[in-house]
Chain A
Amino acid sequence: MVGLPYDCLSNPLGAVRFAFDKALSSSDSAAALDGKDFGAADLFLRFLDNGGLLKVPLLNSKTIKWLQPNTLVRFRGMIQDMLGNEFYVGAYKDRDVWRTNKYADVSQSPMGSPSNSQIWERRLIYCTPVPGQNDWTEPSASCIHLETLGKEKRQRDEDAVMEDLSSQTEGFPCPKRMREGDTATPSSTIHGVPAEGISSMAMVPSDVDKENLSCLVKIYDSPESDLKLNDVFEFVGILTFDQDISMEKDNKDDPENTICEDLLVDLLPSKVPRIHCLVHRKLAQSDFLPGPVTLEPKPHLVKPIREALLGHLTTLLGNDGVAAQYMLLHLLSRVHARIDTVAVGKLALNLTSLTNESISVFKNRILCILKTLLPFTHDVPLTVELLNAGPLAPRKDYDSNRLLSGPLQLAEGSHLTIDETQLKAGSLDSTGIDNTRVLKSLLEWQKVDYDFTYYKVEMPADVQLLILSEGKSNILPADIVLPFCPSSVDSLGTPNAESLAAWRWYLATMRSLTHSIEPDMQKVLEDDLVAARQTDRSLGTQDFSRLLTMGRLLSISFGETCLSMEHWQMVKELERLRRERLQGRI
């Protein structure tokens, strides 16, 4: 351990110190290191790029049991709330040596005179697991880590014995509450990994939410625009658990403490692990695929996968080929541009003609396949009670000064199924009306108004919406209304793991393909649209948008990045079939 000043995995703080000392030697004052990275992040980035990433254990509700504080961990989550900035003593002089508190909660040695310290700033963000994340995205706990960690643990245990002794002599009854500030012994400050060596079970605070592990992530030196609300990120950083549970209670009589009351009361350090983030990266859907990506998005490779998936969807939807086609396009849709208020690229699908009998069969089938294909899925049975129960959109609770998540705080690329067949006649109260408005704006503009009591803040969303209803939904005006005509209910073969993996890869990769159009194709489109409008005056911008979105999606579903005549014809044919169905119903 001594010989490894930068074992990034088990002693990240040592590596931070190493970088800090190195940076100090090249600049004369610690003040110069404010607001920028002093090399630690670079160091870790290099480590991660060289295959280190996979060695970093993932922090989740399962692994938290055996992860040690002050080690390097990975956490994947959605930014649920931003808690503002925090000022901390970034660097201070311990006797004659500058030390840093960066990437740590507490200082390792007593801080000397105030004149010799620097105040730096870091951002606090609160991350939760991505809402609606499906099981298959969670990588199975890898055994590699267990082994290496096991070895380290033994070492640590030895240290721990010593430390236990020393702390006990100081009169601390519980090793959990041992030194953080008073470990000025040279050995431990150099070694870094403070020997929090108790059996690993003891490290898990008893009241951590086991199911939904949220994290308070502290971000350093990163521009504000990097991290946005509802983004899905992977953070690599140093895990800390503050053992000091008594902290909040102690100072009730202290008048100054009333100022800082709200912010962290809910986030008791004992409940929410902290991660001092060294490296963060935004995740795309393809990052959630369990296996390594081997395929290339080439048309000839994609086509068989598409066919297989389409076939499966057709069977699933009771041999309704048209519905399967639309479903495929719907699953590939995403908002790829926002122009003024228009969200271009969304394709919300409304399957109508679902009766009470068919809904029971098909709803489960659809939900099931969505769960296995997409990383984040949700399902909302729309009822009057639900609408009236409480706000669907997130809102700010000023008592706790936190953003309370609602069912509509969704990560980019989530899929939301709304079952309107459950909706019975009933009266909506003002909450209910608000909720329908929020749902409508999500459908029409892909935006959710977050309620901040005194004003609303519009948050862009990118959610695929599937609406199941008996008739055309008026509350939720979807882009595509398709009467659903199943002809048979065949039993569904379970797709094998290989094809499932391929389909997941297909959906995650294809949707992010870029797309363009040749000038002469553009001309064809324009002519077609004009001609269509000349024959049917009721066609409007929305209809044109729908056609073009479909054209785009259809061609990327084949892995093409350019719209071809053939695909355009297919789109028109699909639309014709759909219109026939609509008219047939009327």
Chain B
Amino acid sequence: MASDSSPVNTHGPSSPDDLTSSPINNTYSSPGRPAASSQSGGAFSTPPRPQSTSRFATPAATPSSTNPRPSGRRASSTTSTPLAAATPPTSTGNLSPSSPPSSDGGGGGDGGGLPMYVWGTNISVQDVNAAILRFLRNFREGVSDIEGKYMNAIHHVIEVEGDSLEVDAHDVFDYDSDLYTKMVRYPLEVLAIFDIVLMDLVSKIEPMFEKHIQTRVFNLKSSISMRQLNPSDIEKMVSVKGMIIRCSSIIPEIREAIFRCLVCGYYSDPIVVDRGRVSEPTVCQKQECLARSSMTLVHNRCRFVDKQIVRLQETPDEIPDGGTPHTVSLLMHDKLVDAGKPGDRIEVTGIYRAMTVRIGSTQRTVKSLFKTYIDCLHIEKNSISRLHAEDFMETENGTPDQVQVEKLEALSKQPDIYERLTKSLAPNIWELDDVKRGLLCQLFGGNALTLPSGASFRGDINILLVGDPGTSKSQLLQYIHKLSPRGIYTSGRGSSAVGLTAYVAKDPETGETVLESGALVLSDKGICCIDEFDKMSDNARSMLHEVMEQQTVSIAKAGIIASLNARTSVLACANPIGSRYNPRLSVIDNIHLPPTLLSRFDLIYLILDKADEQTDRRLAKHIVALHFENPEKSVHDIIDLPTLTAYVSYARNHIHPQLSDEAAEELTRGYVEMRQRGNFPGSSKKVITATPRQLESLIRLSEALARIRFSKLVEKQDVMEATRLLEVALQQSATDHSTGTIDMDLITTGVSASERMRRENLVSDTRNIIMEKMQIGGPSTRIMELLEEIKKQSSAVEIHLNDLRNALSTLATEGFVVVHGDSVKRI
């Protein structure tokens, strides 16, 4: 053991030139060396040592630099001895990286120039060395690139005096899949060689460069779920996704200790910490002194590195039914310390390690347990916070593999995919097919567009469901919420404005003010489901104006002025004001929502409970089946939920349909037609049946429909279906019940054009009557009398007292009459 650590000490402060060769002198050329000295307790065998030494020698040489990994590696290589079978230590070869692997073919015999093998395998160290060198030198991203990607990167690192080189594992795989496999299976060994090769390259480029550069591998081909980590992954390179739940405080870990003699003041050479233990010199090394037990640690001349232990927990989507989330410990060093904070979703690349649990040092018993952790190499934050995340579902599902993509593509080729998806959406909610189609469009979404001028058009489709109680609106909402992982479900009754948008809170520990996201911000790029929309306070609802059109949330409070993205689709449902929908009233009167907000919904569906025996029967059948039949039996030919989610997520991420010319033409035509419907032949009154908002909705819906088919182009059929959907929704919500036509004024002002005309007529009638019957300044007349008069004149239309009062108040504002209680006086 002494010999193991000796190279470090002897080579101590050496020049970078020595670096490459320093780790080399203690190597074992063959796997035949007996696994040595298993003593007691934390016994360990020697073979791992050269490995850690080689990895370790470099920081020893450059006291200013810090080396994150060795401690972890070292620690475990000492403690996890029993693992050696699974994790052979490298016999880091007698190779100076500059020496070509010429002796490759030399066979496995004994002797000087024999090839080195990674212990217990047939992986030749020289081969790996050469492969890495080739990769670093020659890998180019594009064919036309002159400089290799990593040579550039190395130059850059040298320039900025960085301490790490990030290596994309995908690049390694593309260049040399064999090297990739070796790297993942034997990360300790291969990364050690990687570092050596890298330092060699660096020293050739810039001989005076003193810092040690670490290789940080990231973006492995496949990431593993935390649940699936098992003993066979130990000492392999793994990539795990999760959420940080706890960070330890930063632990300074002593790396090099310096001692001073209390007698003579002699400073010892830096003593490298070995397996977390400092071998304190018992005797002063100065020849003149040689005092015993006089050495004391000099804290401020020792070298420390930062260390942090972080716990990572599974994200909710990975937890199986009836399980609790798993956690795993991460060990972070140096730069990685504090790279993430609790709540962050990260993807970690590192080496999975296990170490024995030691029983008290007095005990000689060995507990047969291991503690596992991941020695981190690289952290990738999936979303710094959800505010800046990429498209929804992407982070939770990862990129689907090739097989799945093909499966989805095949699915999208089916001619009836639209119908099948509709059927698969909430299969246990019967009927409401058009509503489901609308919801499907919402799930897929349109394309958001930002013009160079800064104007932006949202791609999210907002839907409002209004309907009688007991029409399974809430179930639809719950279903959509379940389907969209980034969705937030909230009830209007319990939501406040700040709860929906964002609020400023004081962190109880630090006292800092922090911005906490509300439901709408949290569901950025997702769907925010708001139940009982009508019960929401006006204050809260007014916040939605900005969200639904500008897709941002602006707040200014407690010194924080911010505009947060809230690119969310809103799916709201509301009950009519009198709990049942009154068909004689307009939508606005029924749901008691401000028209400004209402017009921001692309689709407003009325889910009405019609007194229709057919529907009732279907409902009854459905519920009876729900209670008495096997639930699996009743559904058939539908796409299951995971596939549906994958389908939606793939479409949202990969399909960005463009409008075809034909479709654009159809859009124009459809829009013009919709507007023209307002012009009745022979009628002078103007009814607006569509507004530019509807045109935008049409575009979004058509895009969503094209997405459903995985089509790159929005085609005519999409536009036609979109028009139909919009009309279905409009017909239900914007029908003027007295004329039967669609009237956007119902939405925008709550009063239909015909109603407006009727009121105008009444006002002029009233004016005429008053002109006839009353004199200026004359005695006042009772309203009831006036009503009789008017009824006599215009027998065709029924006039209510309220209508008359409205008319009179209009006249009063004109200064034509004065109304006192029940009496009217002309002035």
Contacts and interface: CB of A to CB of B under 8 A. Distances in A.
Given A398-B311, A548-B623, A340 B426 contact: yes
Chain A CB count within 10 A is highest, among B40, B82, B229, for: B82
B641 to A, nearest CB: 10
Contacts of A399: 246
Contact of A101 (B45, B326, B368, B626): B368
Given A229-B323, A259-B371, A341-B478, A530 B617 contact: yes
A452 B482 CA distance: 18
A258 B247 CA distance: 12
Contacts of B76: 256
Contacts of A224: 227, 320, 323
Contact of B366 (A110, A251, A541): A110
Interface in A41-61: none
B177 interface: no
Contacts of A342: 428, 475, 626
Interface string B601-637: 0000000010101001101110110111001000000
Interface in B319-367: 319-327, 329, 331, 342-343, 354-355, 357-367
A529 B354 contact: no
A84 interface: yes
A525 interface: yes
B327 A84 contact: yes
A526 B628 CA distance: 12
Chain A CB count within 10 A is highest, among B84, B231, B327, B373, for: B231
A105 B371 contact: no
B343 to A, nearest CB: 5
Contacts of A283: none
Contact of A112 (B38, B362, B482, B627): B38
Contact of A255 (B75, B372, B613): B75
A19 to B, nearest CB: 18
| Interface footprint category on A | 35 or more
A398 B246 contact: yes
A457 B38 contact: no
Contacts of A92: 82
Interface in A73-111: 81-82, 84-89, 92, 101, 104-107, 110-111
A256 B355 contact: yes
Nearest to B226: A84
Interface string A249-275: 111001111111110000000000000
B9 to A, nearest CB: 21
B620 A111 contact: no
Interface stretch (A116-124, A205-213, A292-300): A116-124
Interface string B475-502: 1001100100000000000100000000
Contacts of A116: 85
A106 B626 contact: no
Chain A CB count within 10 A is highest, among B85, B327, B343, B627, for: B627
B35 interface: yes
A398 B324 CA distance: 13
B613 to A, nearest CB: 6
A196 interface: no
B365 A182 contact: yes
Nearest to A260: B371
A453 interface: yes
Interface string A452-469: 111111011000000000
Interface stretch (A319-327, A515-523, A578-586): A515-523
Interface string B544-561: 000000000000000000
Interface string A224-247: 110011110000000000001011
B245 A454 contact: yes
Chain B CB count within 10 A is highest, among A119, A181, A247, for: A119
Interface string A175-210: 000011110000000000000000000000000000
A117 B82 contact: yes
Interface stretch (A365-373, A477-485, A532-540): A532-540
A455 to B, nearest CB: 5
A433 B494 CA distance: 8
A544 B325 contact: no
A260 B623 contact: no
Nearest to B427: A340
A120 B370 CA distance: 10
B617 A106 contact: no
Interface in B267-290: 276
B130 to A, nearest CB: 29
A114 B81 CA distance: 6
A356 interface: no
A111 B357 contact: no
Given A342-B626, A454-B342, A119 B329 contact: no
Contacts of B471: 540
25 contacts: A89-B82, A105-B368, A113-B35, A114-B82, A181-B363, A244-B359, A255-B75, A255-B307, A256-B276, A258-B248, A259-B373, A337-B631, A454-B343, A460-B321, A460-B322, A526-B617, A526-B621, A529-B619, A529-B623, A534-B613, A537-B611, A540-B471, A541-B470, A544-B620, A548-B624
Chain A to chain B: the 6 pairs with minimum beta-carbon distance, closest first: A540-B470, A228-B322, A181-B365, A114-B82, A250-B360, A529-B620
